[in-house]
């Protein structure tokens, strides 16, 4: 009995994406997936924060500061979600080929983005007339 054609297409797509290697222990693959989902949740929270800043802080911030902070949070969420997908793929490939895991670019990116957003808020509060 031959497998259905759609199954064969899925296998070739998977091989091209993961570039071969040996199937890792399912626990490691699932842990990689949980980490990916945690990064996605963080990205969604940043995007929700950006939307909330734009929608609900009209009386708190002037339009320029509000727009800058909202765009920073939304942009950080966008970059974080895309980076999470790439991170998942690179870790999965490394596990399949028995190579060391790649360093997470997401950590410094999130730290710098969070510090920048906090800096904008602090500067605005410090220079805002009482």
pLDDT tens, residue by residue, 95-124 = 999 999 998 888 888 899 889 888 988 888
Q: Among residues 72, 81, 74, 75, which one has the least CA distance to residue 117?
A: 72
**Extents of the domains making up the chain:** 28-127
Whether 92 and 111 have beta carbons less than 8 Å apart is answered as: no
Q: Please give the helix or strand (H or E) that residue 35 lies within, else none.
A: helix 26-56
Q: Which residue has the tokens 């091209």?
A: 16
Task: Say what percent of the chain tops pLDDT 90.
Answer: 52
Total residues found in the chain within this entry: 130
Alpha-carbon distance of 55 to 88, in angstroms, equals 32
- For 44-62, the pLDDT digits (tens) are 999 999 999 999 988 888 8
What value does the mean pLDDT take over residues 1-25? 71
pLDDT digits (tens, 9 = 90+) for 70-89: 999 999 999 999 999 999 99
């Amino acid at each position: 009995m031959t497998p259905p054609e759609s199954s064969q297409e899925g296998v070739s797509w998977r091989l091209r994406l993961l570039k071969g290697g040996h199937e890792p222990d399912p626990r490691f693959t699932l842990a990689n997936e949980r980490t990916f989902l945690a990064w996605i949740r963080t990205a969604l929270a940043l995007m929700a924060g950006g939307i909330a800043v734009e929608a609900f802080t009209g009386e708190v911030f002037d339009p320029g500061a509000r727009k800058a902070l909202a765009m920073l949070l939304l942009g950080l969420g966008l970059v974080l979600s895309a980076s999470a997908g790439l991170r998942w793929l690179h870790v999965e490939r490394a596990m399949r080929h028995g190579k060391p895991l790649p360093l997470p670019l997401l950590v410094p990116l999130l730290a710098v983005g969070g510090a920048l957003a906090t800096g904008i808020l602090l500067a605005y509060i410090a220079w805002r007339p009482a």
